[in-house]
Amino acid sequence: MTEASYPATRLRRTRAHGWSRAMHRETVLTTADLIWPLFVTSGKGVEEPVASLPGVSRWSVDGIASRAKEAVELGIPCIALFPNTPSDKRSERGDEALNPDNLMCQAIKAVRDACGNDVGILTDVALDPYTSHGQDGLIDDDGYVLNDDTVAVLVDQALNQAEAGADIIAPSDMMDGRVKAIRMVLEMNDFPNAQIMAYAAKYASAFYGPFRDAVGSGGLLKGDKKSYQMDPANADEALREIALDIAEGADSVMVKPGLAYLDVIWRAKQQFGVPVFAYQVSGEYALIEAGAAAGVADREALLMEKLVAFKRAGCSGVLTYHAPVAARLLNG
């Protein structure tokens, strides 16, 4: 397309007033685009601030229910739950993941009792919050994460969460074949409407540190996760991962982290046309908070600009710890 020449075309005309900028805005962010990640901890009436995530806390189950009510009031459609499993309940095989009364299941039930079906509940499927070694799966004597043995446990973990009332099962482990196995067990156990949001392109990123602090796995991690999480240099491989997860039964896919991988989000949306979500991970959140505290820029402007970037790249929604802040700004 050839643009008319100046002065017939003055692109600043439509930017001159706020009403006109709003009318011509190509990308719109609403509260319905937000998913709020929440950390669950033991006890009652407990709030534990996460030092590496300013403004984010771990909440006991009753507090999680209160946060879910807050999400409903703010118009946030979905919360994502992550447990901080006590050290005495962690094991080599992550057996606590299968306990129907673990922190995750308690939180699911509490949210459902408090909010009914007014808010969606997304649950993380991976073993790192439950293992004593901090890896997402079962390991052999050399510390290598075993794919098929891990998938067998993840299937039971997913079913445990579905039985507790989870709406969206979100496997974040990056094992091959786990989406198909989870879809099959959900169908076989009469959970045909349980959604799967696959962490389809999850990278071995430097941005995860504060999250690992929040779920208590950071200090436990032996080795790294590069044998199953993706190489940050690869994008074509991400599309192969996404294609496999869609074929295996994923209803939506996720790219994690978000901002450093906008190209992957864009390509996934263009190629597959499925709902693509991004996780604005803990390190991304912490950098905004640190930058604002250092006077780099206004905190609200920083966080909103980044959220709009995800939408502009093609995201259907964003998991972000800034969800309640953003929702309040959007609600005016």
Instruction: Please tell me the distance from the alpha carbon of residue 162 to that of residue 8, in angstroms, as a whole number.
Output: 60
Residue 29 corresponds to which amino acid? L
> Residue 230: beta bridge partners?
203
Fill in the DSSP letter of residue 175. Answer: -
Do you know the residue count of the chain? 332
Instruction: Please tell me the distance from the alpha carbon of residue 271 to that of residue 255, in angstroms, as a whole number.
Output: 14
Instruction: Please tell me the distance from the alpha carbon of residue 58 to that of residue 49, in angstroms, as a whole number.
Output: 6
Whether a cis peptide bond, with omega within 30° of 0, leads into 7 is: yes
> Residue 38: beta bridge partners?
81
Active site residue 202: yes
> Residue 35: beta bridge partners?
78, 319
Nearest to 319 by CA among 158, 80, 81: 80
Is residue 295 within 8 A of residue 284, CB to CB? The reply is no
136 is written with which tokens?
A: 């997402």
Is residue 160 within 8 A of residue 97, CB to CB? The reply is yes
Nearest to 258 by CA among 274, 272, 241, 279: 279
Given the residues 256, 269, 306, 311, select the one marked as catalytic. 256
Given the residues 44, 69, 202, 222, select the one marked as catalytic. 202
Active site residue 226: no
Task: Give catalytic residues, as residue numbers.
Answer: 202, 256
